[in-house]
Structure 1
């Protein structure tokens, strides 16, 4: 039986055309026969020309701009997708989305961290800029895996998604900066390093530099593809579902209908105000 997976990026894929193409090529290369991945980006108009790396460091901006992802993922399940991948190290509304869906919801950073634990005693993460390091540290802490991380690093020349979209065609500087963080990670005791951002990951993956000496490089994008396939298979074959006793408790149908009515009323009021 085939699989249909919805991949929700937190970038403007309509604008970042090199990135979208690279994602599609990556899926074709690594996914099993019969697996189809649909890639979806964020609403372009909401960002007013800014890149996510610039905006999502602010908690309020993240709340306002990423709330749409909840409804997008609910729609994916209604449209018979077998799993959803949240393809971002910002990991938007993961508990909320898992509490609303019965299909597997894969967090790219969460599954990458879990796989890294199976591949290395200590691993490191490299992100785009110093401002992102704090967010990645908080993410690792949220998943309770601080003791497995040997270090957090950022590229010497900070970049955003727009710059990386160009670097997919001209990767030299980004690869050089990443290799420098890899050497530091090795010196700090890492067995494995993760390019902790989707576009950065694809640039490194397409540069054929894995491993770096004895240091493994974990491809977080393809890991999320294969992890989603595994979770779909486990749900189909083992009948496992999401635990509903804690943070992923699903609201009863009547309460969910009431909550949907509230959000719809707010949306209608917003439209009337604009008029």
Structure 2
């Protein structure tokens, strides 16, 4: 099985994050699964982390194209699934409508997993402007009533990267924010961004008291594995009914992509970093 992982960061240029993601894949993925890491194109952002380049609706809508194009590339290149590894689920609905392989979103997968493990979902993140989008997405996923507090931790992306050298201050600040969410009624916590999730998983932060912390990255990979298996064994697929889910004719997609000067997808446009777990891990 081969899974295309798509980050909203330029992950190949962020060694601490990239290496931690690789180590987590080695623990979480089945031995027969290749997870191939892909970041945004190198000139997308002026620095390694997107920061405020993803916290405005219009700017994020521009980034959708890379996610959509890469889903098309993944299918042409023989991938079995696509994992959109960012909590805003950038381009999820559009990509899912264009390809026949499973497309899983970090946000949707983690929210549904959290809804099975608790009654009120809390999110602890560090990009405050994303709160509106996360609530909108929860409503689209049918989980608006289960999503409770969204609390910003007093840390940022680069703090987390530095935290790999000295983790305890970051852990303490996350726990402090999680305790605020718990005091406001949350009984299950989603770490709001991928870098925070991977940091916590790396340092084995799985609970705050009796409240579970969702491993969103692990959940997304396992959801990919499960849906690929179910598609092959039981024929389960995404619905093709309705405006958001019906698949448009390929020739029209290609014609309009040409018209808007968007790159066509080809199998040889895959430049990811492959990671495969081993049975001994």
Decide whether aligned partners of structure 1 residues 76 and 169 sit closer, same or farther in structure 2, where only a CA change above 3 A counts: farther
Deviation (angstroms), 1:180:
0.6
Secondary structure of 1:129's counterpart equals coil
Determine the C-alpha separation between the residues in 2 that align with 1:267 and 1:210: 41
Q: Does 1:200 align with 2:200?
A: no
- Correspondence 1:44-83 to 2 at 5 A: 44-49=42-47, 51-83=49-81
The 5 Å alignment of 1:1-275 reads 3-49=1-47, 51-157=49-155, 159-160=156-157, 162-246=158-242, 247-264=244-261
Query: 1:134/1:168 Cα in 2 relative to 1: closer, same or farther (>3 Å)?
Result: farther
Change (3 A) 1:167 1:233: same
Equivalences, count: 263
For residues 173 and 66 of structure 1, do their structure 2 counterparts lie closer, same or farther at Cα, with a shift above 3 Å needed?
A: farther
Cα gap change, 1:71 to 1:245, in 2 (>3 Å) = same
Structure of higher RCO (CA pairs closer than 8 Å, 6+ residues apart): 2
Task: Give distance in 1, aligned partners of 2:182 and 2:46.
Answer: 40
Change (3 A) 1:118 1:13: same
Q: Secondary structure at the match of 1:224?
A: helix
Alignment partners' CA distance in 1, 2:113 and 2:34: 22
Kept after mapping to 2: 8 A contact 1:19/1:168: no
Secondary structure of 1:74's match? Answer: helix
Contact 1:133–1:154 (CA under 8 A) maintained in structure 2:
no
Structure 1 counterpart SS, 2:150: strand
Deviation at 1:205, TM superposition (A): 1.4
Runs of 5+ consecutive residues of structure 1 not aligned to the other structure: 269-275
RMSD of the alignment, in Å? 1.8
* Residues 155 and 174 in structure 1, CA contact (< 8 A), matched pair in contact too: no
Q: What secondary structure does 1:135 align onto? A: helix
Tell me how far apart the structure 1 counterparts of residues 128 and 76 of structure 2 sit (CA, whole Å).
39
Name the SS of the counterpart of 1:10 in structure 2: coil
8 Å contact from structure 1 (residues 57, 132) kept in 2 = yes
CA–CA distance in structure 1, aligned partners of residues 62 and 187 of structure 2 = 38
Map of 1:271 onto structure 2: none
Equivalents in 1 of 2:132, 2:169: separation in Å? 24
Change (3 A) 1:25 1:112: same
Q: Deviations over 1:73-98 (max 9, x none)?
A: 11111110000000001211111111
> What CA distance in whole angstroms lies between the structure 2 residues aligned with 1:32 and 1:254?
37
Deviant stretches of 4+, over 6 Å: none
Which moved further from structure 2: 225-234 or 255-264?
A: 255-264
Q: For residue 116 of structure 1, give the secondary structure of its aligned residue in structure 2.
A: helix
Distance 1:32 1:241 in 2: 22
User: Partners in 2 of 1:22 and 1:233 — Cα distance?
Assistant: 27
CA distance in 2, matches of 1:50, 1:40: 14
Distance 1:104 1:240 in 2: 10
